Amino acid sequence: MTAPWPSGRVPRSQIAARFGADRTGLAERALGTGDPLADAVVAEIRSGGRPVREQLDHGIRHGLASLADPPPAVAALLTATESLLAAADPALVDAGARPLFTSPPPVHTLSLSAGALLRTYGSPSIAVLLGTTGRLVDGAERRLTETGRWVLSTTLPGALHPGRPGYVMTLQVRMLHAHMRELARTRDYDELAHGVPINQIDLARTWLDFTLVSMRAEETIGFGLTPAEIAEVYTYWQLLGTLLGIDPELTAGITGHRAAARLDELVTALTGPLAPQSRALAGPTVDAIAGLLVGSLRLPRPAGRLLLEVLARRFHGPQVADELGLRRSRPVELLVGAGARLLRARRGRLRRRPGALDAARQRNVAATRELLGADGIGEALFQTYRPERSGTHA
């Protein structure tokens, strides 16, 4: 049975008038659905405790075949994910999100932070969820670090092969979302108002943040992709999204920004205006990102924060930036614009030199691997999850 339309969202009648019956039906199902496979595993963990967690972790890392007698829900989840990868185009998995590595890691730091993650955490339903679970402000830097690490790890060549870091981390993030759903329901999260915690619309919004929003953000600072490259990235992220627990019906057929923007229009309409918690989260998020830029871009924290606020205005527009309380700086805006023009021209010259773009891609892949610690999977929050301590959302 379909869950009732959430009272805190835009009325169903308005969505139907704007998007039609079919897309409204899809939206209604998505708002009332979390991730049935992962949610069933959480229920098994709740009843079976540590042995189930240990089997899940071992199975994620070493495969379903390595488990002698897996719990049913664990077996169902691993069967689904391993079958998904077995049926995928091997060349796609081997290549990773190849076009993204035509840009150096610092570019992704900026697009993921001031672009994708700021919008993700600005989502009213996600901000309300973090407020409900007591993690609205606490742990912002750790959330951002681990989410950024996950995104980079999953897009490397071969990263999604079962047992590889990208695959392992994606299932860890997927399980974190399921644990957060359960936690929210114990903390008076208003499901009738907002829909299922971290529902399919929330997940689709995150998917768009890491594809449409990030690629457009990088384009505005001089690191655009060709239509063929954009299609390759979307195709890869369709596979990655399904592995993360996103209903493939939501992202099916998206190979360009125009189709992604149509989905984003629906998701944005369903998301609604910013909640008070969104602005409360924006400041700590920008502060946390500025702290990370001290190391990655060697910027003093105040300068890093101002740069991020200016970039966020460039990426998301003045209305959203004003609602989030982000500052203006005309001098920095002019510098960013001039820098983007220079970088765009330089990138054009790079594309015209035979072999230069491939060489740059190889360097950037190597630099990303070094940044991540040679593909190692460190001790991550979503790996050692405990409900009372969790605050990460990817």
The span from the CA of 332 to the CA of 192, in Å, is: 44
327-346 confidence digits (pLDDT tens): 889 999 999 999 999 999 99
Percent of the chain surpassing pLDDT 90: 62
Residue bearing the bigger pLDDT, 90 or 271: 90
Q: Residue 1: pLDDT above 90?
A: no
Per-residue tokens: 389: 């301590």
> What is the reported pLDDT for 222?
95
Q: Residue 381: pLDDT above 90?
A: no
The span from the CA of 227 to the CA of 229, in Å, is: 5
First to last CA, the chain: 28
Q: Residue 287: pLDDT above 90?
A: no
Residue 135: pLDDT band (50, 70, 90) is low
Residue 337 lies in a domain: yes
Residue 386 lies in a domain: no
Residue 11 lies in a domain: no
The span from the CA of 35 to the CA of 196, in Å, is: 10
Residue bearing the bigger pLDDT, 134 or 307: 307
The span from the CA of 201 to the CA of 267, in Å, is: 6
The DSSP code sequence of 336-379 is HHHHHHHHHHHHHHHHHSTTHHHHHHHHHHHHHHHHHTTT----
Residue 378 lies in a domain: no
The DSSP code sequence of 71-131 is -HHHHHHHHHHHHHHHHS-HHHHHH-SGGGGGS-HHHHHHIIIIIIIHHHHH-HHHHHHHH
Per-residue tokens: 65: 């075949």
Look-up of token digits 């190889």: 362
Residue 9 lies in a domain: no
Tally of domains within the chain: 1
Q: What is the span of the domain harbouring residue 325? A: 18-372
Among the residue ranges 104-118, 163-177, 195-209, 358-372, the one predicted with the least confidence is 104-118
The span from the CA of 331 to the CA of 310, in Å, is: 10
Residue 68: pLDDT band (50, 70, 90) is very high
Residue 96 lies in a domain: yes
Residue 7 lies in a domain: no
Q: Residue 380: pLDDT above 50?
A: no
Q: Residue 55: pLDDT above 90?
A: yes
Residue 392 lies in a domain: no
